[in-house]
Amino acid sequence: MMRTKIAITACLAAILIGCGIASFTQTNGGRVTIHDLRFAGSSGNVISALLYLPEGATKDNPVPGVVAIHGYINSRETQSGFAIEFARRGHVVLAVDQTGHGYSSPPAFAAGFGGPDALNYLRSLPFVDQRRIGLEGHSMGGWAALMAAAAYPDAYQAMVLEGSSTGTLGAPPGTSEFPRNLGLVFSRYDEFSAFMWGSATAPQITATKKLQALFGTDQPVSVGRVYGDIENGTARKLYMPGVTHPGDHLSTEAIGNAIDWFQQTLGYDTDLVPDDQIWFYKEFGTLISLLFLAMLVFPLSRYLLGTPWFNDLQQPPPKWSPDTPLQNRLSMVLLAGIPVVTFFKFQAWGNLLLPANSIWPQNITTGIMIWALGNGLITLVLLAIKYRGYASLRPLLSGGESGSTLGYVAKSAALALLINLLLYALLVLAGWLFTVDFRFWVVALKVLSVDQAISFLAYLPAFTLFFVILSTALHRQLIWSNRSGNLTTLQRSMIYNAGVLSVGFLLLLGVQYVPLFMGTTMLLPEQPLLTIVAIQFVPLLGFAAAVSTWLYALTGRVYAGAFFNAIFVTWYIVAGQATHFAR
């Protein structure tokens, strides 16, 4: 028990250190103050934002301002790399949640994606120089910036579109004069080139009529050349960093491109060059916190199972002979392959069967829910075929020596809920003390809004059913022996099971990205969005498998692990997705 307490203490200390690193970085060592804001939009909706206020910005000394807007199914924190660097250079930065994202009122896509309200709010701040305001948006955030520019054409001086385009999904079309002073950062491996600009690959956008019309030329647009005139507001410049669409957020080159353009068009009262960047320390800090929050689950659950309240959950695992090597390999292939094969199709069916509604208001989450239920059904059928019914699964699902199965299930649910609540409390505390959440790149764990909490309860039953079935299939079929002197049987099982559930998505990403990095299109070019979503499934399913295996070893049953994963994964997904229906 002492070692368990030491492990818990070490995890908590690491989380604190990570939060401290992130906070120190995003405040530029205390020279930038960050405010967590809510303000009313023009239609009575609530807009959430982080305001980065550099020292020296006052009513008597107004400084340039920038609105930074994230893309679809992201949040205000996703733009922290840009916001940190703009603020370091003396700019007031308003990093907003788009409508229907983060803590802004749903639905998504409403009120110009939130862009006009954000620009109007930034202009109302007395310490912002209204003659030097910039708009920066990534992907769908670029369309929000364009909507703001169209609503208030004289309220900004320059714009940076990151991985975005004009004239897409309701955004205003671009001309040689609109928007004002545009810097376009479109990466060489951007997955959305066909959707954004009508070209098969990103480098080919330079020859599209759409881009040429925007740049006021009838020739292929040259990367790095300034077209038009800054004084007249017609300047344009194309940048092409060597990353992907979501990779813009982790690219010193892409962020440096945005800095460079605003330096030319808004002016900086600083000697910092575009390459002088520190934002990645913040990313490193929140990554440390995220990793050790995940690691905390293991000693914390062991500690709780040693208390009188949960001690009777510890049951011996069922005894049975493992499958033959051939059966074991087939089970591994099916567990790894079926979720990937069905990934795109089942999610598409989900949005056709259940469009956004008052019960399930998030399109992406609903698609994942239908995918999970479909995979659960397939798994049930295969288990019945393999074991000629479900009788052999009963030992995994009974209460064992504890007596009542219902009581055992209820107490397992209580344990899973308590662990998640303790993790949630740490996340709330980090936001309160440091104004950070736990994240790395597109993998982010956030506090739920009230509306998201209601959605969480609606989605939870389906994900609970899925994880109970998945855990049953995993632990009935894959039984690992200890053939390595350096690993215990449990450690070996956790690693192997995590690999089984995540390797299929790794292969999917390889199939999609290897051709893209070789200069052609993805194998399935029509699925850029869900391919990016699939990136998160690698760590998420790997973590779920490790936790399920750990708690199965401690309790001898599938419930504690399945319930923990259902709560955690539903929380993770719902908090990070867009809400498309306003209750």
The alpha carbon of 430 is separated from its chain's Cα centroid by a whole number of angstroms, namely 18
Rg value, the chain, Cα = 25
pLDDT > 70? residue 401: no
Half-sphere exposure of 420 (CA within 13 A, CB side): 24
How many Cβ atoms from other residues are within 10 Å of residue 304's Cβ? 20
- What tokens does 467 get? 């994880």
Q: Please state, in angstroms and as integers, the Cα–Cα distance from residue 496 to each residue in 186, 211, 254, 316, 422, following that order.
A: 39, 48, 37, 21, 28
- Which contiguous run of DSSP H or E holds residue 133? strand 128-138
Confidence (pLDDT) at 218: 96
Rounded Cα gap, residues 478 and 548, in angstroms: 13
Do residues 330 and 555 make contact, with C-beta atoms less than 8 angstroms apart? no
- Given a cut of 60, whether residue 482 has pLDDT beyond it is no
Whole-model pTM: value is 0.96
Are the CB atoms for 415 and 560 separated by under 8 Å?
yes
CA 391, distance to chain mean position in Å, is 40
- pLDDT of 491 > 80? The answer is yes
Burial of 415 (0-12, 13-18, 19+ CB in 10 A): buried
Q: Counting every residue, how long is the chain?
A: 583
Assign 402 a pLDDT band (cuts: 50, 70, 90): low
CATH fold label, 29-277: Rossmann fold (3.40.50)
The predicted pLDDT at position 331 comes to 86
The least confident of 297-301, 306-310, 397-401 is: 397-401
CATH 3.40.50.1820 in the chain is located at 29-277
Residues 100, 112 contacting (CB under 8 angstroms)? no
Q: What is the pLDDT of residue 6?
A: 97
Q: From CA 134, how far away is CA 138, in angstroms rounded?
A: 14
Q: For 167-225, what is each residue's pLDDT tens digit?
A: 998 899 999 999 999 999 999 999 999 999 999 999 999 999 999 999 999 999 999 99
Q: Are strands 128-138 and 158-162 parallel, antiparallel or unpaired?
A: parallel
Q: Which of 147, 152, 134 lies closest to 92, judged by CA? A: 134
How does DSSP assign 164-224, residue by residue?
Answer: --SSSTTPPPP-SSSSSSEEEE--TB-TTHHHHHS-SSGGGGGG-HHHHHHHT-SSPPPBT
Beta bridge partners of 184: 161, 238
Nearest-CA neighbor of 532 among 514, 553, 505, 551? Answer: 505
Question: Taking the mean position of all CA atoms in its chain, how far away is CA 376?
Answer: 24
One-letter amino acid identity for 186? F
pLDDT at 487 over 80: no
Phi and psi torsions of 247, nearest 5°: -65, -15
Average pLDDT over residues 250-254: 97
Q: Return contacts of 384-389, CB within 8 angstroms, 24+ apart.
A: 386/327, 386/477, 387/476
Predicted confidence at residue 268, as pLDDT, reads: 79
CB atoms near residue 233 (< 10 Å): 19
Say what percent of the chain tops pLDDT 90: 86
Choose among 122, 167, 175, 129: nearest CA to 147: 167
Give the Å distances, CA to CA, from 510 to 189, 197, 231, 341, 498.
14, 25, 46, 14, 18
CA distance 199 to 107: 30
| Residue 309: pLDDT band with limits 50, 70, 90 | very high
Other C-beta atoms within 10 Å of 345: how many? 11
**E strand intervals along 25-118:** 32-40, 46-54, 63-69, 92-96
What is residue 36's three-state secondary structure? strand
Whether the CB-CB separation of 99 and 110 falls below 8 Å is answered with: yes
Mean pLDDT value across the chain: 94
pLDDT at 476: 82
**Cβ pair 12, 3 in contact under 8 A:** no
Asked whether the beta carbons of 556 and 316 are under 8 A apart, the reply is: yes
Integer Cα distance of 278 and 262 in angstroms: 18
Check if the beta carbon of residue 180 is closer than 8 Å to that of residue 261.
no
Which position has the higher pLDDT, 405 or 416? 416
- The first and second tokens of residue 60, run together, are 């008597």
Residue 96, beta-bridge partner list: 49, 69
